[in-house]
Structure 1
Amino acid sequence: MPHFPVNHPARPLYRVLSGLIGVYILVFGVWGVAETIGDPLFDRGSHWALGLRTNLAFSLASVVFGAVLIFGASRRSNLGHYMNLTAGVVFLVTSILMMSVLQTDANFLNFSMSTVIVSMLFGLILLGTGLYDKVGPSEHAEAEMERRKHPVADAHRS
């Protein structure tokens, strides 16, 4: 089983980071919907919102995804932990897939290279926040601190 730190001291910072990413994605989506309303869902036009190229389908998906990330960041349970891990992987996989079809008709979300880069960056940040925002009982956090103070662990640090 993988080791995820429990009750990491910087957890509030990670929740704020994932919340800010969620707000950006939500604002991007709303702005994109306003720009592309009336266009076909998978249009390959030249609509831009907050520096990223978009179409109606991508904008609608961003509204939903941004709201989900904000919801996850606002929870003090492990729901945010799992949502951030999942969202990080989704962003990374989507950015790689969309980069592979960037100059083809298969670019149905109308990505540009800047959209790919921002998606990769968001994916890495969300994956990182997901790795460190796990919540557990105080006994688990204390046990983890004791493991860190174990003599064998101290011998490896020297």
Structure 2
Amino acid sequence: MPHFPVNHPARPLYRVLAGLVGLYILIFGVYGVFETWGDGLFDRGSNWALGLRTNLAFSLVSVVFGIVLMVGASRRGNLGHYMNLTAGVVFLVTGILMMAVLQTPANFLNFSMSTVLVSLAFGLILLATGLYDKVGTDEHAAEERRRREHPVSGVPSH
């Protein structure tokens, strides 16, 4: 079982960072919906929003993901922890898959290389925030620190 840091001192900063990523994705999605409204859902035209190529499907998905990330960042419990871990993996996998089909008809989200790079960067940021924003009791945090300091025996050495 992985040992995530519990009650990390920089947790508020990580939550703000995840919230800013969510806000950017939400604004990108809303702007993209306005730019691509009336086009086909999976249109492969040259529509750009905030420096990233998009289509209506990608813009709509971005609106949903932006809202989800902002909700996760605003919660004090471990919901944001799990949402950021999941979203980080989704962004990384999506970025890699879309890079693999970039110059093919399978590029149904109309990604460009800049979109791939932003997706990978956001994936890494969200994964990092998810790794450090776990919440627990003070006793749970002390137990995690003790295990990290003495991972083999579980007891302090003298």
Q: TM-score, normalised by structure 1?
A: 0.92
Cα distance in 1 for residues equivalent to 2:91 and 2:148? 33
Consecutive unaligned residues of structure 1, counting only runs of 5 or more, are: 153-158
Give runs of aligned pairs for residues 4-153 of structure 1, distance below 5 A: 4-147=4-147
- Say if 2:85 and 2:131, in contact at 8 Å, map to a contact too: yes
1:142: Cα distance to partner? 2.3
Cα distance in 1 for residues equivalent to 2:21 and 2:6? 23
Per-residue CA deviation, residues 1-39 of structure 1 (Å, 9 max, x unaligned), is 011000000000000000000000000000000000000
1:143: Cα distance to partner? 2.5
Report the structure, 1 or 2, having the larger helix content. Answer: 1
Aligned length: 152
Consecutive unaligned residues of structure 2, counting only runs of 5 or more, are: 153-158
Cα distance in 2 for residues equivalent to 1:41 and 1:136? 43
Percent identity for Structure 1 against Structure 2: 81
1:138: Cα distance to partner? 1.1
Letter in 2 for 1:94: T
C-alpha root-mean-square deviation of aligned residues, in Å?
1.4
Q: TM-score, normalised by structure 2?
A: 0.92
